[in-house]
């Protein structure tokens, strides 16, 4: 019964707070109260403390009031007889535990060396990743938004053996669920078990090793807390909002593998505050009554073969998996899987051979649904370790199919094939590069299975627009050479068709409300010349999505009367935005940074920021971790832009939009750009040059400063003077 | 002389039985025996008489109620409705005069003019301020407190506009009152108006009278009583779960036993402080006692039991018994439920019996006046000193302290319930509603009210609560009824395993709560109004209090205050059952309305049933009916959420 659990959690919390208090005191003695303490590249400080208490921990001294709060929260121990109600007490003890863990883990970043690896992937000698920075959080957060990651499992302890660990992990991966790993049982951790069994761990495969200590599980909670602030627009300190957001949006749960200690109970009590239940494999008491979590709170003694399905049921998750008849596992979780040279059976396309993929529509009677052909040698006829050309030729037909949808379907091939375990897919169109792993080959994977995957997934996801799918895979070198030319012809036609399309040539834009599940008041308006700020949805995507699901998150928006051509304001668009932002945004400019700019959810690829003294703007993308001339790094900027708020002078955008003629055209467009991170600038080189020429500044590319030229607004201005930046001559922005 | 009942038919309380036996053996008169000796007036019991003017008094027949009318022509329905309405007005006046006393005390504290008391719960002050629309941002606590005090005080004399706390009710409920013209204005105005309307030759429409009485009763529950509860929490602390001990066994043979009986909590609060004062303790030592044993009784006792864990000697019908122990050195009373017989009974022992309030003097009792706003400490010291000095007069040969007392957990304020179901960060009523919806808890019952010598003491409460728990009905209690169940051990968390159905037991075990929740004194029934409103606001159980699967009962009531309470619950939409007897003639139009038709107007109705098992059945039937109307009577499939479904959830 819950008395045992609550008593243990309260005991555990006392011990944890005692321990962390000592560690903080030791650190203060060693480094002093003013010693800066922070997690890598985040605008959210120690995120659990910041989110729940609204308190910024920036120095060791800032931890003192948090420790005091922990002490206030710690309840008395549960009496043997005549006890007072312990549930609320245990939940408070759990919260104190989370605050203590947040500090304990932050202290690790003062150690030399830091016990964690930075980035998405473990290294040879250290598998532990510690806190995710904001770049990872935002990138992965999008997957939580669109549902491709239905939730996460915080796994503590270890399975009885490696084989069981792999089975559990794979089952979670197959369902797209992230696996956050911490703590040990019997001296073993779940993450180590996976690594020993040769499973690739790290963010790309959704198997994330946080740390060996139980305290490292806080990084899962920190991720969830930041998601509420970054995507949900919940304000720091609005603990009720943060916890409700997590209960109703982030479908997470704890899998406790092994003996449940007082410390685990304390952490589990903390998780219950977030609506995350615990499912244990050991024979501990249960709390089955509902109320804090969606359903049960603690469910125990669950056999390993049932533990994942039980966890999903307890959390109240519905996951639709279309079973694909292939001999390997299939899930978005495998999209990030790497296949090294040693592990690869063969390579297809890539730098050393031709490779392309192509999708076109035909008449209904020209397509035989489910027909897969392999023209040329199949995998079992190829030499191990060698490279072969490949052409993936997909033909679809359907009553609602349109030529405009061809490139959309074609673009899906990348992630659809990548989802199969043992298939690596990089690039698109005629820069295709694939690998098939030895394991997948040995499991029976053949090229015709590419057809099986595309057929099943196309039907599953695009059944509204297509009725038939047939696939041919070419590995015959001559045939590939011949068809790649045919495909290229079509690629060019499509480009010119899309290029000719402007905001003026259409009467209807499309909305994207997908992110409203995370940012309730945010509305994306997608026009031909301005894709969604996440970069994942352009106007055609919006149109297709609407055809596929007429009541879905992408809706047609009639432009209506022009209110202001320069700003890009239309009566129909304003009305739509007003209604769908729940009356929080009254008007919207498609082309302006300064007047009624578009709101942001949190998924944006980059942010445009006004540099007021320079009379110019800077653009920073989320991969740039450093300080920017506006005085804030991306992570901090993102915090002030996201959450559905309209902030003149700041706007979240897709990288593609930078090359659009409508890019902040109300303020003078691309000529206003005075600073960008170097890697972003280089990746957009062609576009910037082209746009510069069009705007009469052919050397614009060289006039944009990077972090190598300037890190402050003053330095940007100096650089502008030096190169004669066009913005110097332009009208004042403010 | 009528034959006395066998003691086992008088009470199921062991200590009371023991003292009753001692009384009978020594020839002392008690209320129990006087009840046997004096049959209740059969005409009054049925409310068939009227003495509102001197053309009468008129009496009609309860057997043939429509055969006669009064001299003025008043029908049986008018008589009953008028008598009932006057009881409501009297009850409302009692709670509200108590509430006014608390308001004046609070104002003196807020203004910094009363060093004897402090604001003990600032958080509650701010919460109440918010509900009253008092600005708190950037203001001194003192200024907020003064404004809160002034608004609370204004609730009594206000002439226009509805009482402030009514806004705590669900919107639909408020609208219903508004549509019926039942939003009470000032408390005093409603009481005065009721007295006027029930005077000779005024309101002679039984429905109009009964609805008018509803307005008056609402001024009690959502007005006077609520003001009292809220301000008492601010001044004396909001109750939190706390251990306590009840029954006559809390008396101590070696200490100065001081018993405080009555309703207003401030005198007892001051005495609690003084009983720990070194100077007073030294006096007690000097007097040859080991210390001071201060214990509460009745409702002021309840208030300090759930705030401080103060020992509690027993409920209303144990007041004779506590004196009969011969161990009480001083008994102080303030207002309400003070039986005159106590003064004469105490003279049979060394017990000094003090009245302390100018509104409540008793012939033959020593009077030491206590004014919270003026002389709290000084009067408290005088009272305690007199009790201490009296210790030496205790006659050991007359002392019988029963060895029975029971432990309990009390302190279930609205705030506690909110906290215990989710802690600081997730506190809410959601787990309660959730487990009602999923059927683990069938419903919630308020079992409250007095004890009454005309029924087997404590037995009706006990049988009723036992039956409710076995049927998974969570029980919330106040007043003397609460003390009954505390004595029976039902307020121990361990009781869940002993008495509850499997669903309720599981919830109690998950939360660590007893299945019977002690929420305070009779004035604190306002907490139940707040709680049921919160249940509605939490969602999933309908839009109005009358949609909830809840019911109320006062199984052994005796006071007019109980009638006022019952009527404000009915007027708030709660099905309410009273035991003992009911001042109504079955089958008359007024009785039919009160027990039936009124539900259409107010959403709640009255019922009368003296048998506890039948009473439980009525309540459970009502709860089942509400469950069915809500569609939660059948087990629901678990809802699993995909992305689309998640988007529908509130964040």
Angstroms from A444 CA to nearest CA on chain B: 33
CB A316 to CB B641 under 8 A?
yes
CB pairs under 8 A between A and B: 141
Residue of B438, B511, B640 with shortest CB distance to A290: B438
By C-alpha distance, the chain A residue nearest B411 is: A84
Q: What predicted TM-score, i.e. pTM, was given to this entire model?
A: 0.87
Interface test with A, best of B405, B423, B506 (most A CBs within 10 A): B423
Residue B485 lies in a domain: yes
A465: contact with B, CB 8 A cutoff: no
Q: Is A551 on the interface with B (CB under 8 A)?
A: no
Q: Do residues B535 and B566 both lie within one domain? A: yes
In angstroms, what separates the C-alpha of B444 from chain A's closest C-alpha? 17
Residues B84 and B230 in one domain: yes
User: How many angstroms separate the CA of residue A275 from the nearest CA in chain B?
Assistant: 9
Bridge partners for A252 per DSSP:
A152
CA distance B165 to B155: 9
- Beta-carbon count within 10 A of A230 CB: 26
Contacts of B440 in chain A (CB under 8 A): 289
Same domain, B562 and B613: yes
Q: CATH code at B596?
A: 3.40.50.2030
B79-95: average pLDDT: 98
| CB contacts, 8 Å: A232 with chain B | 651
What is the mean pLDDT of the segment spanning B66-88? 97
Length of chain B: 651
Q: Is residue B641 part of a domain?
A: no
CA-CA distances (angstroms) from residue A286 to A6, A92, A273, B423, B506? 11, 19, 17, 19, 11
What's the CATH fold of domain A332-499?
Answer: 3.30.1650
How large is the angle between the packed helices A634-641 and A218-230, nearest 10 degrees?
A: 50
Contact A84 B645 (CB under 8 A): no
Contact across the interface for A248 and B440, Cβ inside 8 Å: no
- The answer to whether the beta carbons of residues B229 and B526 sit under 8 Å apart is yes
- For residues B123 and B500, give the distance between their C-alpha atoms in angstroms, rounded to a whole number: 35
B549 shares its domain with B517: yes
In this structure, the number of other CB atoms found within 10 A of the CB of residue A68 comes to 11
For B267-300, the pLDDT digits (tens) are 999 999 999 999 999 999 999 999 999 999 999 9
CA neighbor of B339 nearest in space, from B316, B372, B313: B316
Residue B344: inside a domain, yes or no?
Answer: yes
> Is residue A511 within 8 Å of residue A523, measured between CB atoms?
yes
Q: Does B647 touch chain A (CB under 8 A)?
A: yes
| Cβ-defined contact of B422 to A91 (cutoff 8 Å) | yes
Give the per-residue pLDDT at B562. 97
| Dist. CA A72–CA A405, nearest whole Å | 60
Phi, psi of A542 (to 5 degrees): -60, -45
| Residue A106, min C-alpha distance to chain B (Å) | 23
8 Å CB contact of B639 and A316: yes
CB B359 within 8 A of CB B335: yes
> Is B425 in Cβ contact with A243 (below 8 Å)?
yes
CATH code of the domain made up of A2-315: 3.40.50.2030
B650 interface with A at CB cutoff 8 Å: yes
> Which phi-psi region, left, alpha or beta, contains residue B247 (left: φ > 0; alpha: ψ -120 to 50)?
left
Specify whether B522 is located in the same domain as B580. yes
Whether residues B89 and B225 fall in one domain: yes
On chain A, the residues whose CB falls within 8 A of the CB of B498 are: none
Of A85, A94, A312, the CB nearest to B511: A85
Which residue of B421, B426, B507 is in closest CB contact with A273?
B426
β-pairing, B49-50 with B256-262? unpaired
**Considering B236, B267, B301, which residue would you say is the last residue of a domain?**
B236
Q: Looking at the complex, report in whole angstroms how far the Cα of residue A317 sits from the nearest Cα belonging to chain B.
A: 5
**Residue B493 and residue B467 share a domain:** yes
> CA-to-CA distance for B292 and B257, rounded, in angstroms?
6
Domain identity same for B416 and B565: yes
Mean pLDDT by 10 residues, chain A (734 residues): 92 98 97 95 94 97 98 97 97 98 98 92 94 86 79 96 96 93 96 95 96 97 92 91 93 96 97 97 93 94 95 90 86 87 92 92 92 95 95 93 87 89 88 92 95 92 89 96 93 79 92 76 90 84 84 88 94 92 88 92 87 94 90 84 83 92 94 95 93 94 95 95 94 87
pLDDT at B472: 98
Contacts of A291 in chain B (CB under 8 A): 421-422, 430-432, 434-435
Give the Å distances, CA to CA, from B127 to B118, B233, B428, B429: 17, 11, 15, 17
Whether B2 is in a domain gets the answer no
Angle between helices B298-308 and B265-274 (to 10 degrees): 50
Is pLDDT at B1 greater than 60 in this prediction? no
Q: Name the nearest CA neighbour of A422 among A534, A340, A495.
A: A340
Same domain, B232 and B255: no
Q: Do B512 and A291 touch (CB under 8 A)?
A: no
Sheet architecture: strand order including A355-361? A355-361, A390-397, A468-474, A372-375
Name the residue ranges covered by the structural domains of chain A.
2-315, 332-499, 504-729
Among A51, A76, A88, which would you mutate to test the B interface (most chain B Cβ atoms within 10 Å of its Cβ)? A88
Nearest C-alpha neighbor of B157 from the set B125, B129, B130, B192: B192
pLDDT of residue A517: 63
Same domain for B173 and B263? no
| pLDDT of amino acid A513 | 83
Distance CA B560, CA A427 (A): 84
CB contact under 8 A, A248 and B424: no
Residue of chain A nearest B640, judged by CA positions: A316
On whether any CB of chain A is under 8 Å from the CB of B506, the answer is yes
Query: pLDDT tens, B450-497?
Result: 999 999 999 999 999 999 999 999 999 999 999 999 999 999 999 999
Q: How far apart are CA A719 and CA A630, in angstroms?
A: 15
Is the pLDDT at B334 greater than 70, yes or no? yes
Contact B420 A248 (CB under 8 A): no
Q: Which two tokens stand for residue A60?
A: 């060791």
B:418-477 residues touching chain A, CB 8 A cutoff: 419-427, 430-432, 434-435, 438, 440
What's CA B239's distance to the chain center, in Å? Answer: 15
CATH of the domain spanning A504-729, picked from 2.70.98.50, 3.40.50.12280, 3.30.1330.10, 3.40.1470.10: 3.40.1470.10
* Same domain flag for B200 and B144: yes
To the nearest whole angstrom, how far is the Cα of B328 from the nearest Cα of chain A? Answer: 29
C-beta atoms of B651 and A249 within 8 A: yes
Chain B residues close to A292, C-beta within 8 Å: 421-422, 426, 430-431
Q: Could you tell me the CATH number of the domain that includes residue B181?
A: 1.20.1270.30
> Which among B196, B212, B236 is the end of a domain?
B236
Rounded-to-integer distance, Cα B517 and Cα B447, Å: 10
**Structural domain that includes position B199:** 76-236
Residues sharing a CB contact under 8 Å with residue B245, sequence separation 6 or more, in sequence order: B311, B312, B405, B406, B407, B408
End position of a domain, from candidates B398, B422, B441: B398
Whether residue B125 sits in one domain with residue B38 = no
Q: Supply the pLDDT for residue B223.
A: 97
Complex ipTM, two decimals?
0.95
A504-729 has the same fold as A332-499: no
């Amino acid at each position: 019964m819950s008395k045992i659990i609550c008593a243990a959690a309260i005991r555990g919390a006392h011990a944890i707070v005692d321990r962390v208090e000592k560690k903080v005191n030791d650190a203060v003695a060693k480094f002093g109260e003013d010693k800066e303490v922070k997690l890598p590249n985040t605008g959210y400080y120690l995120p659990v403390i910041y989110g729940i208490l609204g308190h910024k921990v920036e120095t060791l001294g800032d931890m003192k009031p948090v420790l005091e709060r922990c002490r206030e929260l710690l309840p008395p121990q549960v009496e043997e007889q005549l006890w007072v109600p312990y549930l609320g007490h245990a939940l408070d003890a759990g919260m104190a535990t989370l605050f203590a863990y947040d500090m304990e883990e932050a202290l690790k970043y003062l150690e030399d060396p830091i016990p964690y690896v930075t980035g998405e992937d473990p290294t040879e000698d250290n598998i532990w990743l510690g806190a995710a920075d904001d770049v990872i959080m935002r990138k992965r957060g999008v997957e939580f938004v669109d549902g491709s990651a239905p939730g996460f499992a915080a796994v503590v302890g270890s399975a009885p053996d490696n084989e069981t660990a792999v089975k559990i992990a794979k089952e979670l991966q197959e369902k797209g669920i992230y696996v956050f790993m911490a703590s040990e049982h019997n001296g073993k951790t779940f993450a180590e078990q996976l690594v020993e069994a040769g499973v690739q761990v790290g963010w790309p495969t959704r198997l994330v090793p946080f740390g060996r200590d139980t305290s490292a599980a806080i990084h899962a909670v920190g991720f969830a807390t930041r998601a509420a602030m970054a995507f949900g627009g919940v304000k720091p300190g609005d603990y009720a909002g943060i916890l409700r957001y997590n209960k109703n949006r982030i479908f997470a749960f704890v899998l406790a593998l092994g003996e449940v200690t007082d410390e685990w109970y304390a952490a589990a009590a903390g998780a219950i505050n977030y609506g995350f239940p615990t499912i244990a494999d050991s024979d501990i008491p249960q709390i089955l009554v509902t109320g804090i979590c969606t359903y049960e709170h603690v469910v125990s003694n669950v056999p390993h073969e049932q533990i994942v399905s039980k966890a999903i049921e307890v959390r109240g998750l519905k996951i639709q998996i279309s079973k694909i008849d292939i001999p390997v596992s299939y899930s978005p979780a495998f999209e990030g899987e790497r296949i090294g040279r040693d592990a690869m059976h063969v390579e297809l396309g890539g730098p050393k051979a031709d490779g392309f993929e192509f999708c076109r529509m035909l008449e209904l009677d020209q397509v035989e649904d489910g027909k897969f052909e392999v023209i040329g040698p199949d995998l079992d006829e190829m030499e191990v370790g060698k490279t072969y050309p490949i052409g993936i030729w997909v033909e679809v037909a359907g009553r609602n199919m349109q030529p405009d949808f061809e490139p959309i379907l074609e673009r899906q091939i990348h992630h659809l094939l990548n989802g199969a375990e043992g298939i690596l897919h990089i690039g698109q169109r005629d820069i295709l590069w694939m690998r098939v792993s030895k394991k997948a080959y040995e499991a029976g994977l053949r090229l015709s299975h590419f057809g099986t995957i595309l057929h099943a997934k196309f039907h599953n996801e695009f059944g509204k627009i297509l009725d038939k799918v047939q696939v041919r895979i070419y590995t015959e070198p001559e045939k590939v050479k011949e068809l790649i030319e045919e495909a290229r012809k079509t690629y060019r036609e499509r480009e010119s068709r899309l290029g000719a399309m402007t905001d003026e040539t259409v009467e209807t834009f499309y909305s994207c409300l997908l992110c409203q599940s995370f940012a309730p008041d945010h509305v994306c308006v997608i026009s031909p010349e301005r894709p969604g700020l996440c970069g994942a949805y352009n106007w055609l995507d919006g149109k297709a999505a609407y055809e596929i699901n007429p009541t879905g998150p992408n809706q047609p928006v009639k432009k209506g009367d022009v209110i202001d051509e320069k700003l890009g304001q239309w009566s129909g668009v304003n009305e739509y935005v007003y209604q769908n932002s729940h009356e929080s945004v009254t008007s919207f400019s498609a082309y302006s940074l300064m007047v009624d700019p578009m709101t942001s959810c949190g998924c944006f690829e980059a942010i445009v920021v006004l540099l007021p003294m320079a009379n110019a703007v800077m653009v920073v993308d989320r991969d740039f971790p450093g300080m920017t001339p506006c005085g804030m790094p991306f992570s901090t900027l993102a915090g002030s832009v996201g959450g559905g708020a309209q902030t003149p002078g700041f706007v979240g955008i897709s990288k593609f939009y930078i090359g659009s003629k409508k890019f902040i055209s109300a303020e003078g467009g691309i000529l206003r750009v005075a600073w960008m991170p170097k890697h972003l600038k280089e990746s957009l080189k062609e576009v910037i040059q082209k746009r510069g020429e069009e705007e009469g500044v052919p050397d614009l590319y060289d006039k944009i400063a990077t972090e190598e030229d300037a890190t402050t607004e003053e330095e940007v201005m100096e650089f502008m003077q030096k190169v004669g930046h066009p913005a110097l001559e332009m009208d004042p922005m403010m | 002389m009528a034959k006395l009942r066998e003691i086992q038919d008088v009470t199921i309380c062991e200590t009371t039985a023991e003292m009753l036996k001692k009384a009978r053996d020594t020839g002392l008169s008690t209320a129990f025996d006087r009840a046997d000796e004096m049959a209740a007036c059969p005409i009054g019991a049925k409310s068939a008489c009227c003495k509102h003017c001197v053309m009468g008094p008129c009496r009609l027949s309860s057997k043939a109620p429509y055969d006669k009318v009064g001299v003025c022509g008043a029908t049986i329905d008018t008589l009953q409705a008028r008598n009932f309405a006057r009881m409501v007005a009297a009850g409302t006046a009692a709670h509200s005069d108590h509430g006014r006393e608390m308001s004046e005390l609070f104002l003196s504290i807020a203004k910094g003019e009363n060093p004897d008391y402090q604001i003990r719960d600032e958080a509650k002050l701010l919460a109440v301020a918010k509900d009253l629309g008092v600005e708190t941002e950037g203001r001194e606590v003192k200024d907020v407190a003064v404004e809160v005090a002034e608004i609370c005080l204004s609730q009594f004399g206000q002439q226009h506009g509805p009482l402030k706390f009514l806004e705590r009710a669900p919107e639909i409920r408020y609208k219903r009152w508004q549509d019926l013209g039942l939003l009470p204005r000032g408390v005093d105005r409603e009481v005065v108006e009721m007295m006027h309307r029930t005077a000779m030759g005024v309101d002679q429409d039984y429905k109009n009278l009964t609805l008018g009485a509803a307005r008056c009763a609402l001024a009690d529950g959502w007005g006077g009583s609520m003001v009292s509860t809220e301000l008492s929490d601010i001044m004396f602390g909001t109750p939190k779960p706390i251990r306590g001990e009840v029954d006559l066994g809390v008396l101590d043979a070696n200490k100065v036993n001081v018993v405080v009986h009555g309703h207003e909590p401030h005198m007892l609060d001051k005495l609690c402080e003084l009983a720990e004062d070194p100077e007073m303790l030294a006096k007690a030592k000097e007097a040859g006692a080991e210390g001071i044993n201060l214990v509460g009784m009745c409702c002021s006792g309840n208030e300090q039991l759930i705030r401080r864990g103060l020992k509690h000697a027993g409920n209303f019908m144990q007041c004779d018994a506590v004196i009969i122990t011969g161990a009480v050195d001083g008994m102080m009373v303030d207002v309400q439920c003070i039986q005159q017989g106590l003064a004469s009974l105490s003279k049979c022992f060394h017990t000094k019996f003090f009245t302390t309030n100018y509104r409540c003097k008793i012939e033959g009792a020593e009077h030491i006046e206590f004014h919270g706003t003026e002389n709290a400490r000084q009067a408290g010291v005088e009272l305690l000193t007199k009790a201490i000095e009296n210790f030496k007069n205790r006659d050991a040969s007359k002392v019988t302290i029963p060895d029975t007392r029971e432990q309990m957990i009390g302190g279930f304020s609205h705030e506690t319930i909110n906290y215990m179901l989710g802690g600081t960060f997730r506190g809410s009523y959601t787990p309660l509603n959730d487990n009602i919806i999923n059927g683990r808890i069938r419903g919630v019952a308020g079992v409250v009210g007095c004890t009454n010598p005309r029924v087997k003491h404590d037995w009706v409460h006990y049988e009723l609560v036992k039956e409710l728990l076995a049927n998974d009905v969570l029980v919330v209690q106040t007043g003397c009824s609460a003390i009954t169940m505390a004595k029976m051990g039902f307020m121990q968390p361990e009781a869940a395993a002993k008495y509850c159905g499997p669903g309720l037991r599981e919830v109690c075990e998950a939360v660590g709560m007893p299945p019977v929740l002690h929420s305070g004194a009779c004035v604190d029934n306002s907490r139940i109004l707040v709680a049921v409103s919160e249940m509605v606001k939490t969602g999933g159980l309908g839009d109005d209090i009358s949609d909830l699967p809840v019911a109320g009962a006062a199984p052994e009531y005796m006071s007019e205050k109980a009638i006022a309470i019952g009527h404000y619950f009915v007027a708030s939409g709660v099905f309410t059952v009273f035991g003992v007897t009911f001042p109504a003639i079955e089958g008359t139009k007024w009785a039919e309305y009160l027990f039936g038709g009124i539900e259409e107007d107010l959403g709640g109705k009255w019922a009368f049933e003296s048998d506890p098992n039948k009473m439980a059945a009525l309540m459970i039937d009502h709860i089942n009916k509400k469950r069915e109307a809500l569609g939660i009577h059948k087990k629901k499939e678990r809802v699993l959420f995909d992305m689309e479904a998640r988007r529908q959830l509130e964040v």
